[in-house]
Chain A
Amino acid sequence: MARQVSRQRKIGMTILAWFVGFLIFFPILWTFLTSFKTELTAISIPPQFLFFDWTTENYVNIQAQANYFHFMMNSIYLALGSTVLGLIFAIPAAWAMAFSPTKRTKDVLLWMLSTKMLPAVGVYIPIYLLFINLGLLDSRLGLIIVLFLINLPIMVWMLYTYFKEIPVDILEAARMDGATLRQEITQILAPMAVPGIASTVLLNVILAWNEAFWTLNLTTSNAAPLTAFIASFSSPQGNFYATLSAASMLAIAPILIVGWFSQKQLVRGLTFGAVK
């Protein structure tokens, strides 16, 4: 009897959860479906759900008409460029904080975090004018530097929380066994640091890919990534739902997949280790 009640409860909860999940996911699902409709089907009344003539013409069109590939490559350059630059700066810093902490380590960490809380508009005007004067406006290099700087505190923090979990005792043991410094690093520390570095890379790529203040304000066309390309649909001409949907799907699909795989690390990175 009790088992039957708990089974009924499980089925009830399952239905409720799937229904809520479907509702939350619906805008993405609808964008996916619309991307395979013709512009006319996309605005038909009543809306067509599944039974329409599926077409891939929108995906072909956005490349032919808007040179989609150009914006996609910019997004990739910006995400990877800022991440690599970030790793070069953040790994040594986090390493030093985790393995040779001093009294001030905590203060430095918190100070770094506080820079992340500086609102973009607080530094927007000088950066904008500086970029004009240096010829960096609408350049990939300029944006890579800005994205690197806004995400550097998160990278240092996340790497720090991972590095801190590497047991130091193991190094002593290796030294006793006669391991050289080189062996220590390549055979013991590196393998233990890799998962933390990988998670940090994923989070940073997600944040850089979706950043939509600096990418919108510091680019016009040359260095414009997908966030800016999609923004160009805000003043549309004619029917554009299907085109917008196709462009949107291509823009969010890679990050959606990366994000789905890294959800656990995300909690850690985005809360600066405050919730595990």
Chain B
Amino acid sequence: MATQHSQKLARSMMAPSVIALLIWMAVPLAMTLYYSTLGYSLYNPISTPFVGIENYTYFLTDPTFIAALTNTMVLVVGVLVITIGGGILLALLLDQDIYGVNIVRLLVIAPFFVMPTVAALVWKNMMMNPVYGVIGQSMSAIGLAPIDWMTDVPLLSIILIVAWQWLPFATLILLTSLQSLSSDQKEAAEMDGAGALSIFWYITLPHMSRAITVVILIQTIFLLSIFAEILVTTNGGPGAQSTNITYLVYQQAISFGDIGAASAGGIVAVILANIVAIFLIKAIGKNLDA
């Protein structure tokens, strides 16, 4: 009796959050799905005929879409490679016995707290500008021709900016994982004459594998939706060289007023994210049992 009562109470305590999220997720998603079947232009909102899968065929056969899909993948993988690789090295470095390790830690994690628009504009103008940027001036100083980052290598520029923002996240999580490794194991391996490299390969890396998985999955979710960094630096250009799916959907809706095609793009993005999400949910769910 008492438990029944308390379960009822528990359910009513959870209800507001569950209902709020259910509405937030289901209603707009259903509407996106509905819009994606309409010929709906913002410039002529009176006539919205049903067009079936036409928006999808338009969106999926648009060469810009293929470019955007490729860019999205390159962006995600590029940032992951830099942040995981750099994060492991940085975590190993910060795990050493060094003077002022706490201050170095503060310096290393700082970029994570910089809002995307600030990070992107500071890098675009003050670091990567070919004439006035610090990188350009440094290259000129040693006699190299400066690169016009945003024009010549727009996607690489965005990868570098985003990697700078996410490197601290990877480092912090990998370091947390590294510090939970008991030193007994390492010492035992050292006694057996194992070198630093084989200790890293056979003991440290396997220990960090779970944390690495979590970093990859969580970052991928966020990286699929990169938007502000593109908006304030390259506007997706030149051409569509730095347009990702998120930016393409935004462009379809805002610049071309094509609600139907934009909605179809939104659904495609949801499907892509879901593929990753399934793995993430599984990884975290497993941890919940442990």
Q: Quick one: which of A10, A43, A153, A248 contacts B98, CB cutoff 8 A? A: A10
B residues near A13, Cβ cutoff 8 Å: 93, 96-98
In whole angstroms, how far apart are the Cα atoms of A46 and B137 in the complex?
Answer: 7
B273 touches A152 (CB 8 A): no
A122 touches B29 (CB 8 A): yes
Whole-angstrom distance between the Cβ of A102 and the nearest chain B Cβ: 7
B100 touches A18 (CB 8 A): yes
A34 touches B93 (CB 8 A): no
A152 touches B21 (CB 8 A): yes
B residues near A114, Cβ cutoff 8 Å: 277, 281
A123-B231 contact given A13-B96, A210-B116, CB 8 Å threshold: no
In whole angstroms, how far apart are the Cα atoms of A268 and B120 in the complex?
Answer: 27
Q: Quick one: which of B7, B21, B29, B103 contacts A100, CB cutoff 8 A? A: B7
Whole-angstrom distance between the Cβ of A97 and the nearest chain B Cβ: 7
CB within 8 Å of A: which B159-187 residues: 164, 167-169, 172-173, 176-177, 180
Q: Is B35 an interface residue (CB 8 A)?
A: yes
Whole-angstrom distance between the Cβ of A254 and the nearest chain B Cβ: 9
In whole angstroms, how far apart are the Cα atoms of A127 and B134 in the complex?
Answer: 41
Residue in chain A with minimal CB distance to B234: A234
B9 touches A96 (CB 8 A): yes
A residues near B280, Cβ cutoff 8 Å: 117
Whole-angstrom distance between the Cβ of A228 and the nearest chain B Cβ: 8
B277 touches A90 (CB 8 A): no
Q: Quick one: which of A26, A46, A110, A126 contacts B28, CB cutoff 8 A? A: A126
B residues near A16, Cβ cutoff 8 Å: 93
B residues near A78, Cβ cutoff 8 Å: none
Residue in chain A with minimal CB distance to B272: A119
B residues near A258, Cβ cutoff 8 Å: 113
In whole angstroms, how far apart are the Cα atoms of A247 and B160 in the complex?
Answer: 23
A251-B115 contact given A31-B122, A121-B269, A275-B176, CB 8 Å threshold: yes
The interface on chain A, measured as residues whose beta carbon lies within 8 A of the other chain's beta carbons, has a size of 95
Q: Quick one: which of B107, B117, B177, B288 contacts A21, CB cutoff 8 A? A: B107
- Interface membership of chain A positions 132-170, coded 1 if the CB is closer than 8 angstroms to chain B and 0 otherwise: 000000000000000001001100100000000000000
Q: Is A124 an interface residue (CB 8 A)?
A: yes
Whole-angstrom distance between the Cβ of A100 and the nearest chain B Cβ: 4
Q: Is A190 an interface residue (CB 8 A)?
A: no
In whole angstroms, how far apart are the Cα atoms of A96 and B169 in the complex?
Answer: 31
- Interface membership of chain B positions 38-53, coded 1 if the CB is closer than 8 angstroms to chain A and 0 otherwise: 0000000000000000
- Interface membership of chain A positions 96-131, coded 1 if the CB is closer than 8 angstroms to chain B and 0 otherwise: 110110100010111011111111111111111110
Q: Is B245 an interface residue (CB 8 A)?
A: yes
Whole-angstrom distance between the Cβ of A91 and the nearest chain B Cβ: 9
A256 touches B132 (CB 8 A): no
B residues near A69, Cβ cutoff 8 Å: none
Q: Nearest 5 pairs between A and B by C-beta?
A: A123-B28, A212-B228, A126-B31, A21-B107, A100-B10
